[in-house]
Amino acid sequence: MTSVAERIASSATASTAHSLATTTCDTDLAEPTWVFDALPTYGPGASVADPIPAETPNATRRPGQLPLAYQKMSEEELHARIVAAKEAMGDRLVILGHYYQRDEIVAYADFVGDSFQLANAALTRPDAEAIVFCGVHFMAETADILAREDQHVILPNLAAGCSMADMADEESVEAAWEELAEVYGFDPAQEIDAGWFERNPGVKLPVIPVTYMNSNAALKAFCGRHGGIVCTSSNARTVLEWAFERGERVLFFPDQHLGRNTAKAMGVPLTQMPMWNPRKDLGGNTEADLDAARVILWHGFCSVHKRFTTAQIDAARAAHPDVQVVVHPECPMPVVDAADAAGSTELIRRFVADAAPGSTIAIGTEVNMVNRLAAQHPDKTIFCLDPVICPCSTMYRIHPGYLAWTLDGLVQGEWRNEIHVDPDVATHARIALERMLAAAPQPLTGGAR
């Protein structure tokens, strides 16, 4: 299979750049990772505001600082180093790879899955003192929150953030909370501890904060302190049901699309889902809008999934009348409505696996995952709805060079790029994560590649 990296590289040199194989959403992606890492921004997915814990020992503080020796290493040399380090570490190391990682990284992962499965996967390897998370920052933070205290979580490139997660920061959410407290008449400082709902059965709070897993640890802690909960794309509906049992309405952040698509499928009218723009008073709403609201949607989105359109679905149906279209719920509502199915990364994986041989499936999610599914199911025709090669550019920042460098560090007894969530933040974030685990326990699927 031609990897996404190879296709991007060939697009940079191709003179006719208008077919599926030769166009990319961002020509910077054709450069080696450390070259575009050094740019202040490089298009969609740049994650300049992603917080790096100040006390992280031995951290590479900014992108673009992979030691030169590793930048110059050949693929073969990097491969040899990674394999040797894995062997030397044995059971003391587990490498986790998100479905959106490039193939050159997935090849070394002990476990591949979605963000929730990977956070759990870490718990299934109690002997592992090092959890190397090949994904993005919020995923590694979540693994650190759920891991034992003596386990160390490593993110090979600290610049692998998530532009959507960056769209909701603690200060803006706290400010929104204070405005909502005034409208709904509650004390914004009131803490709702882990056992509060059990001690107050039947009492409904005016608003329950719900954060998507794609958010920083401080926002998960905010939810933990205020009677809120975390959700993933695979359990958003169950989590919203949990929230409606305990509150009059929900403040959902950062992804407006996941919130809207999920609430709409539950029958909440669009008129009761105002958008909260953090740069406007009352989020750009009137008090009457907020009084009627059932779900207040934060003004956030995924730059990768926002690219999918109904025109692409129309084109896929015109070219392949028997095509089935499956998309991620981070896509805009008209796209989800026009698709045959919508669901999490894991649902998409199962949708493809369960389809009959000979099926044609168009997928609206990250291209590395789509291409891998196509390679794994040669008996089916599988393609990405978006004709432009557009990987998640922050996931793409995890390159074998960074993996080799962090693994070599482990062998030498050095924790390079360790993610360490502040213990107080972790305690509160764990409350919100544990509410989710209790409301929506998920079987651990995914697996070794």
Prior bond of 254 cis (ω within 30°): yes
Whether residue 115 is annotated as binding a ligand: the answer is yes
Nearer to ligand SF4, 120 or 303 (CB): 303
Instruction: Work out the end-to-end distance of the chain between its first and last CA atoms, rounded to an integer number of angstroms.
Output: 15
- Give 135's Cβ-side CA count (13 Å radius): 28
Give the residue from 74, 281, 330 showing the smallest Cα distance to 175. Answer: 281
Alpha carbon of 241 to those of 233, 248, 283, 360, 418: distances in Å? 14, 11, 24, 34, 36
Instruction: Choose, by CB under 6 A, the member of 366, 386, 408, 418 that binds ligand SF4.
Output: 366
Q: Give residues 103-132 in contact with ligand SF4 (rule: CB under 6 A).
A: none
Q: How far is the CB of 51 from ligand SF4 (least distance, A)?
A: 15
Whether residue 137 is annotated as binding a ligand: the answer is no
**Cβ-contact 145, 217 below 8 angstroms:** yes
**Cβ-contact 64, 37 below 8 angstroms:** yes
Alpha carbon of 234 to those of 31, 106, 239, 261, 337: distances in Å? 34, 22, 10, 12, 17
Using CB under 6 A as the criterion, which residues of the chain lie in contact with ligand 13P when the complex forms?
114-116, 213-214, 232-233, 302, 330, 344-345
Pairing of strands 418-419, 152-154: antiparallel
Q: Which does 233 bind (CB under 5 to 8 A by kind): ligand SF4, ligand 13P, none?
A: ligand 13P
Binding window for ligand SF4 (CB under 6 A); candidates: 230-238, 270-278, 389-397, 401-409: 389-397
Nearer to ligand SF4, 172 or 215 (CB): 215
Residue 229: strand, helix, or coil: strand
Q: How far is the CB of 136 from ligand SF4 (least distance, A)?
A: 5
Q: How far is the CB of 267 from ligand SF4 (least distance, A)?
A: 26
Q: Which does 114 bind (CB under 5 to 8 A by kind): ligand SF4, ligand 13P, none?
A: ligand 13P
* 214 binds ligand SF4, rule: CB under 6 A: yes
Nearer to ligand SF4, 45 or 364 (CB): 45
Q: Which does 254 bind (CB under 5 to 8 A by kind): ligand 13P, ligand SF4, none?
A: none
The residues of the shown chain that bind ligand SF4, judged by CB under 6 A, are 45, 136, 162-164, 214, 302-304, 366, 392, 394-395
